[in-house]
Structure 1
Amino acid sequence: MSTASADSGGRGTKTSKVSKDHKKPTAAALKGAIQLGIGYAVGNLSSKPDRDVLMQDFSVVESVFLPSEGSNLTPAHHYPDFRLKTYAPLAFRYFRELFGIKPDDYLYSICKEPLIELSNPGASSSWFYLTSDDEFIIKTVQHKEAEFLQKLLPGYYMNLNQNPRTLLPKFYGLYCIQCGGVTIRVVVMNNVLPRAMKMHYKYDLKGSSYKRRASRKEHSKSSPTFKDLDFQEMHEGLYLDPETYSAMMKTLQRDCRVLESFKIMDYSLLLGIHMLDKKSLGRGNRCDSKKGQKVLYSTALESIQGNVKDPDPVADDDTLGGIPAKHKDENLLIFLGIIDILQSYRFIKKVEHSWKALVHDGDTVSVHRPGFYADRFLKFMGTTVFKKMHPLRGTSSKRKRNSLHTAKSASQEVLSPQKEKEKEKKEHKKAQSMDNLDGNFHSSSKHPDILLESALALESTQNDEEDPENSEARRASSSTIALDDPLAPLTRSQSDSELDVYL
C-alpha cells in the first residue's frame, strides 16, 4: 500500500508517492474503518491464550491488510482498502481486564452504532469520537504522541497495578489506520464527561494565566469550554465536604507526581459542572441504550474514593457518579479527569518555554518544567478551584470543648503545691459562706467537689452494671470532670452531655 505521513493533527496527508487512483477517504469511511479495524483486532486477540504481560509485549506492533473484497484472514467490507496496526495488543487487553471490560462489551460499544463526532476545544487539531453508549472516547493522536504512549506503557502498567483509582486517562487501545493515503492514529480512552448529563459549565484548567481565556469563537458555541481566567471570574471556587476534598487532593497529588516522574507537562484538568437546580434542562441527551456502567473506577466519584473496594455500578443513578459540590447556594455535581498527558518536556517544549518567558512572565505560561508545572497545578486546584467546606458548628464546638478540657487537666497537673494550697483555702472560705446562706449544703461545704463526684459515681455505677469492661475508663473521666470544674452544674442531662464529649 502507498506510504503516507501524519500531519501535526495526526490526521495524515498524502505524500508524493500516493497514486492518483487513490482518493482521500471521507469522514464516514474513516469512522467505519476505525470500527472495523478495532473489531477485527479484538476478535483476533480472543484466540490468543491468557498469560502474564511480559516486558517485550509493550513494544509489539501487529500489522494486517484489510482489502475491501476480503481475504482468508479478513472479512469483506464496503470501505476503501486499509492497513491496520495494533500497538501492544496483549498489554492493552490486560488494561481492559483490569477495568472489568469484557471483550464482547468492548466490541458492542465501539462497533454497534456509528461513532459520534465531537468538537475539540483545545489547541490541538485532534478529532474526537464518542461511542453511542457514552462509554469510550476515541481520539486521534500525533505520531510522536503515539510513540510516547507506547514508551509510557511499562510505567503506566505498574501505576495501574498499584492504584487503579486515578484521575489519569484510562487507555484501552492504540491503533493506526492507513487508508487512501491518509494515516491516522487513534487511542481509545474513558469518557470523562457523560453525554447523558447536561454540563452547564465546562473548563479546561492548567493552573496558568498566560492566554488562559476562552476565545470569542469558543464563547459563541452552544456548550463552550472555558479556561483558568474564565473560572476565576465566573466561580469563586467549588466547595466540597472535608472528606471529599481530602480524597480529591490526595488523588490529584498522587497523579501529578506520577506524571512528573515521566517528565510529562502541559496536561489539563477537564472539569464539567452540572447544576442540580437546573436538572429539567439537562435530561434531553440521556441515552436510552445505557443499561449500566461497563468500566470499573471510571466515574469521578469512584476515581477519588480509594477506600471503597468493590463499588456497585452507579451509572444508572441520577448522579451518574458525579461528585457533590456547592457554589454559593447552588448544589452541583462535578465530573473531572486529567487529560492531554502525552506531552513530554522534550527539547521543542524547552525552546517554547524559553521563547515565551522572554515576552511574558515565565512562571505563568503553560509550558514549564514538569516539577514546577505539577506544583503550580496542585496549588491552583487546592486553593482556587476546590475548597473545603467548614464543618458543622456542633462538631467543631465538641472538638473545642474537648481540647479545652484536655488543656485544663494538663495545666492542673503541673500546678505547684503552693498554688494548690491557696486554691483549697479559697474554696474552703467560699464553702463556709455557702453554709451560712443555706444549711442544705453543710454536708459538702468543706469539699465542694464531693457532690459532683457522687453524682458522676452514681452514673458510672449504673453504666458499670451494663458494661463492666468500660468502668475504669468512666471513673477516670468522671474524676477528670470533677477536677476541671468543681462548680459545674449538677443536672443529670448536662452531666450526660459532658460524658458524651469525653467518652
Structure 2
Amino acid sequence: MEKKISSTSQPRILKKKHFRVKHQKVKLFRANEPILSVFMWGINHTINELSHVNIPVMLLPDDFRAYSKIKVDNHLFNKENMPSHFKVKEYCPLVFRNLRERFGVDDVDYRESLTRSQPIQIDSSGKSGAQFYQSYDRFFIIKSLTSEEIERMHAFLKQYHPYVVERHGKTLLPQYLGMYRITVESVQYYFVVMRNVFSSHLTIHKKFDLKGSTVDREASEKELEKNLPTFKDNDFIKQKVKLDIGKEAKNKLMNTLSNDVDLLTRLHIMDYSLLVGVHDCVRAEEEALQGDNILTAGRSENSESEECDSGERWTYNTPPDSPRGAQYKEVVYEVDIYDIPSIEEKREIYFIAIIDVLTQYGVKKQAAKAAKTVKYGSNVDGISTCDPEQYAKRFLDFMDKAIE
C-alpha cells in the first residue's frame, strides 16, 4: 500500500529575500591634487590615533625626536579620490599636540578645519618658492618646507616649545601646530601647519611685510598689480603709515616683540618680518552699504556684523554648518593676540605677527651680506642681510617708530 505524502511534508518554496548590503561609511578626502587628498587623510588619521594616547605630565627630550609613520597600500581606493600607495609621517606628535593646547586649538576643530573640505592654494610669490594653502575656513595656513627646513624646525622646536610654555602662548611668533611628511609615488613633500594671522572674518584692506631695512624694500610692479599687494618698508614710510594703538597697548606690544626677538637673536636667526594687516572700519562700512544696496532682499537677522569700534569686540555669528559651531567665537577671540584695535579716532584694526623665523645667519647669509656691502656700500642699516644682533636692533627701532 502506497503511503500518501501529506501536503505539509512537501518541501516549501521559500520566497527570495532581497538583502541590502550595508557598506561601512568611509570619509572621502577629495581634492584636485593627490598630495592634498593624502594630506587630509593623514591629518584625520594622526588626530584619531592621538586621541588614544595618554597626555604626559611633561614632555621628554625623546618627544622632540619622535614621529609616527604609516604606509598605505590599498588598491580599493578610488584613484580619482586617493592614490593607492602613499606614506604619512607626523613629526613630534606629542610636542605639537601640546602646542595646539597652549594656543587654544582643539584637536577636533583642527581636524575638521583641515579635512572637511580641501585646503585652497593661495598666493606664493615669495622668494623662498614655498607653496601656501589655507584651510577652507581660513583658520590655518599650510606651508611647504624643504628637508633642510624640517631639520631647522626640529632644532627650533627645542627652544620654541619651552618659550611658548613660559609665555603662556602669548607670543607673536608663528603658531606652529603640526609638521608632516607626505610621500606619493616616491616623491616626498614636507608641510607645516600654522595659525593664519588673517583668519578673522574682517577684510584686510592693506598689507605690509616689514623688516626695518630700506635697500630693495618696496613692492614690485608685478606685486602692485594684485588686488591686495604686499607693501614693504619703503612703501610704509612713503605712505606715512602709523599704527595708532595708544601708549598702553604699544608698551604691551613692544614688550612682546622684544621678548620674541630676543629668542630669535639667541638662536642666531635673522631675516624675519613683521606681517601687518590693516582693516579699515570706515571703508568696511562703505563696502557693507554698497552690498546692502545690491542685495536688499532675503537678508538674515543672524548675518555677520563688522562692528569694530576701537576697544570693543565685534560680533561674529558662526554659520550653522561651521565645524566649530558655537565654540568658534571662543576659539578665535579668547586666545587671539594677533588683532589689536587702533585708538578710537583712527577706527582701524591691525593684525600683527612675526613670520619667516627659520633663517639662520650662516655662511650663505654672511656671503650675501658681503656681496650687498660691495654693491650698496657699508650702510648696514639699509641692507636686510646683517648679523642677528644688528638685525634685531634695527627691527625693533623701526617698529618703535611705526607704532604710536
Tell me the TM-score normalised to structure 1 length. Answer: 0.63
Q: Which aligned pairs between 1:369-388 and structure 2 lie closer than 5 A?
A: 369-383=387-401, 385-387=402-404
Unaligned ranges ≥5, structure 1: 1-25, 304-321, 388-503
Find the aligned partners of 1:152 and 1:143 in 2 and give their Cα distance. Answer: 14
CA contact (8 A) 1:101 1:295 kept: no
CA contact (8 A) 2:87 2:183 kept: yes
Q: Does 1:143 align with 2:143?
A: no
In structure 2, the residue corresponding to 1:166 is in which secondary structure?
A: coil
Find the aligned partners of 2:154 and 2:126 in 1 and give their Cα distance. Answer: 23
Q: Which aligned pairs between 1:36-435 and structure 2 lie closer than 5 A?
A: 36-51=41-56, 52-69=58-75, 78-163=82-167, 164-194=169-199, 196-280=201-285, 288=319, 289=322, 291-294=328-331, 298-299=335-336, 302=337, 322-325=339-342, 330-360=346-376, 361-383=379-401, 385-387=402-404
Q: Which aligned pairs between 1:462-477 and structure 2 lie closer than 5 A?
A: none
Shift of 1:326: 5.3
Cα separation, partners in 2 of 1:296 and 1:95, compared to 1, 3 Å: farther
CA contact (8 A) 1:99 1:296 kept: no
Deviations 1:364-419 (A, max 9, x none): 22121111101000000001x212xxxxxxxxxxxxxxxxxxxxxxxxxxxxxxxx
CA contact (8 A) 2:120 2:133 kept: yes
Matching residue's letter, 2:249: T
Tell me the TM-score normalised to structure 2 length. Answer: 0.78
Unaligned ranges ≥5, structure 2: 1-30, 292-302, 305-317
Find the aligned partners of 2:153 and 2:100 in 1 and give their Cα distance. Answer: 16
Cα separation, partners in 2 of 1:78 and 1:282, compared to 1, 3 Å: farther
CA contact (8 A) 1:239 1:326 kept: yes
Matching residue's letter, 1:139: K
Find the aligned partners of 2:254 and 2:182 in 1 and give their Cα distance. Answer: 39
Cα separation, partners in 2 of 1:234 and 1:27, compared to 1, 3 Å: farther
Deviations 1:186-211 (A, max 9, x none): 10111101252111100011001111
Find the aligned partners of 2:335 and 2:113 in 1 and give their Cα distance. Answer: 15
Matching residue's letter, 2:60: L
Cα separation, partners in 2 of 1:85 and 1:34, compared to 1, 3 Å: same
Cα separation, partners in 2 of 1:142 and 1:282, compared to 1, 3 Å: farther
Find the aligned partners of 2:332 and 2:71 in 1 and give their Cα distance. Answer: 31
Shift of 1:68: 4.0
Matching residue's letter, 1:350: Q
Cα separation, partners in 2 of 1:171 and 1:222, compared to 1, 3 Å: same
Shift of 1:254: 0.8
Q: Which aligned pairs between 1:4-23 and structure 2 lie closer than 5 A?
A: none
Find the aligned partners of 2:332 and 2:52 in 1 and give their Cα distance. Answer: 23
Shift of 1:93: 1.1
Cα separation, partners in 2 of 1:103 and 1:236, compared to 1, 3 Å: closer
In structure 1, the residue corresponding to 2:150 is in which secondary structure?
A: helix
Cα separation, partners in 2 of 1:187 and 1:281, compared to 1, 3 Å: farther
Q: Give 1:428's aligned residue.
A: none
Find the aligned partners of 2:389 and 2:107 in 1 and give their Cα distance. Answer: 38
- Identify, as 1 or 2, the structure richer in helix: 1
Shift of 1:135: 1.6
CA contact (8 A) 1:130 1:136 kept: yes
Deviations 1:311-367 (A, max 9, x none): xxxxxxxxxxx312259x642110010000011112211111111111113332212
Cα separation, partners in 2 of 1:122 and 1:282, compared to 1, 3 Å: farther
In structure 1, the residue corresponding to 2:208 is in which secondary structure?
A: strand
In structure 2, the residue corresponding to 1:292 is in which secondary structure?
A: helix
Find the aligned partners of 1:297 and 1:30 in 2 and give their Cα distance. Answer: 34
Cα separation, partners in 2 of 1:375 and 1:243, compared to 1, 3 Å: same
Matching residue's letter, 1:136: F
Shift of 1:80: 4.7
Find the aligned partners of 1:386 and 1:201 in 2 and give their Cα distance. Answer: 16
Report which stretch shifted further, 39-48 or 148-157: 39-48
Equivalent pairs counted in the alignment come to 336
Find the aligned partners of 1:88 and 1:54 in 2 and give their Cα distance. Answer: 11
In structure 1, the residue corresponding to 2:143 is in which secondary structure?
A: strand
Find the aligned partners of 1:295 and 1:102 in 2 and give their Cα distance. Answer: 11
Matching residue's letter, 1:176: R
Find the aligned partners of 2:185 and 2:134 in 1 and give their Cα distance. Answer: 23
CA contact (8 A) 2:246 2:343 kept: no
Deviations 1:44-94 (A, max 9, x none): 1222222121011101233221234379xxxx9623522111111111111
CA RMSD of aligned residues (A): 2.4
Greater CA radius of gyration, 1 or 2? Answer: 1
Q: Which has the higher contact order (CA 8 A, sep 6+)?
A: 2
CA contact (8 A) 1:118 1:129 kept: yes
Report which stretch shifted further, 364-373 or 332-341: 364-373
